Amino acid sequence: MKTIAVCMLALSLLLAGCAGSQVATTPGVTPITQEQSANLIAYQTLMAGKQAYDTTFKMLAVLYADGILTEAGKKQAITLGNVYVAAHDQAVTNLLLGKDPGLASVKLALNTFLAYAATVKGVK
């Protein structure tokens, strides 16, 4: 179970770096505007980040259940996770309102959370 948790954690860290930066076009379809393209990229980036966060948090829960992640580590993960979720939710709201989503703050919060998660090893 520990090996699976570590593999899933590594996968989630990999996914975090794979946020979309390209817009697919279909022949015969009117191309989207630059603003629509930027919004689509922002949406894809937010979705990739959320998937990385969800997967990582689930694996941290497994590591906690297995006794690898301490109570203090769990609290730290929750605190950092809450910072990411708040930044993510604000970015989604901004995107829906047609404002700049502020992806830099989301990226910083997610990177901080993932960097912490990467430090969790099989040491109590």
Tens place of pLDDT per residue across the chain (124 aa)? 454 544 444 545 444 444 444 455 677 877 878 778 888 889 999 999 999 999 999 999 999 999 999 999 999 999 999 999 999 999 999 999 989 999 999 999 999 999 999 998 754 4
**Which pLDDT score, from 0 to 100, does residue 30 have?**
79
The pLDDT value recorded for residue 45 is: 92
> Range of 97's domain?
50-118
Exposed e or buried b per residue across 85-96, where buried means at least 16 C-beta atoms within 10 angstroms of its C-beta:
bebbeebbeebe
Whether 35 is covered by a domain: the verdict is no
- Cα–Cα nearest to 106, from 86, 120, 123: 86
Does residue 57 sit within a domain? Answer: yes
Token couple for 55 = 């997967």
**Does any domain span residue 91?**
yes
Q: Is there a domain that residue 34 lies in?
A: no
**Cβ–Cβ contacts within 10 Å for residue 23, how many?**
14
Please tell me the distance from the alpha carbon of residue 66 to that of residue 58, in angstroms, as a whole number.
13
Tell whether pTM > 0.85.
no
Check: CB of residue 44 under 8 Å from CB of residue 20. yes
Q: How many domains does the chain have?
A: 1
94 within a domain of the structure (yes/no): yes
